[in-house]
Structure 1
């Protein structure tokens, strides 16, 4: 060590300190343990929030779904799977599931197709497009409550703009939110507009992420705008579309705010989707057992639909 100290011109005290430091932290297991500890320290706040707002409610829902409750919401006793058997035999629950599926079919494809069309038309660097891009993205900044109040005035049978336009065409007014034939369609129309801003921003970002060299090469080869979009841009946009489909389906199965404000599940339960049915069962009728059972069934349905999409739809996604 004396020759090494003289060669490196290091003081003997510093060499001793470095040797002690290496002996304390130089082992691989010690370094790995310190890294894992540091990772859990940074993940700690997120894990605590997940535990409070996700894991604990999930465990509580499982517990309540296996028990019956009284009118005050207190647990009466263990009933096993009776709450789930009750749901299978209950026409009201099956009707809510049917309405939820119908609502998803009305909103998910429509909102994505409209956003895709607007993103394709407003994609580019021409003058004036910024104004259109801002207008198409505007719904994303509005809350569900604000959007619902705006559309409630538009749907008003005598003062609403929609019936005013129908009167200009000499057509009879429509009871948009009161007629069972039109209520779900009206709520779906409002939901499509509400989701338009988010879908448009995601699809526009996906189109901007495609290199300009690909467009220029296709133009040189003689591809027109329609052929360029269908054969080249759309396959390259498939990862973005795949993400939007999954998020939109989950969002449609969780719709509640606009239905609660516009129709309150009516008329004649024509807009009574599963989440609103859960709200009624648990927080209006105070049957937390059956309400929790419905929530778990909805959770399982969403998980199954998501897994099916990853199993089959992802095969058609073209990653760059």
Structure 2
């Protein structure tokens, strides 16, 4: 029986109440777990201004991970914010969704940091999933950061933007300097100005702030706590993201793997994401270039994304993938 769903709930996940939004135009559709980026940056708010259409195809779970968004609590022990804990939480959320919607398997979709969590979860428990979908696929983030730094510094030098050049030179990443949390705000500012960050057409990080503040699904208290969860999660998990090498850590997935990546993305390297797909072994794999997107094809080109999901992912094919990846 066709049933619509639009629900904001908190569920006990590994001993902690965690929040999620469930959306569906038909709850008999396949189930999709969306793993947000960051760490610490839930993305349901973006769907208000940039609808994805995912709820037309799937029953979608927009889970807000431990320490993030409406799952943030001031008393969360830092020692519980580990990759093993996050994978365990992900599997527990999957089990909840399987029970609730009566599914043997679901689809798992990760965005940015969510691709690290999604790839490692799919590697650990492939029997739970039909397929893995990565958007803005992380593979070797330290290498990605250094490539982006060099690109941005050259762009600002060429443009004669000495103010941005001075900001970047405070963090000599191109000379092996540390890629710490403090650098990320400068990096994000530069990426937004060049259209190579969150979205190709977004020129300021204030756009993201406005999206969260304008989201009707959050209370004002939840909106005010959002940056606290972002900062907390980022501080706990950033080093793991930076040190990850998924090309080495995940040589094979036992399920189909699809990677959707924006051509203008430097927040997570487009080139390295391609290398990840080329290197990984999987029953089926496909790399899909989004020509008008930077880091968020799911919000920048949602119609193309949904077409790929309907035609390829749900049918276990990769016919629409970039040609060179099918050779």
Flag the structure with higher helix content: 1
Higher Cα Rg, which structure: 1
TM-score tier by shorter-chain length is: under 0.3
TM-score normalised to the size of structure 2? Answer: 0.24
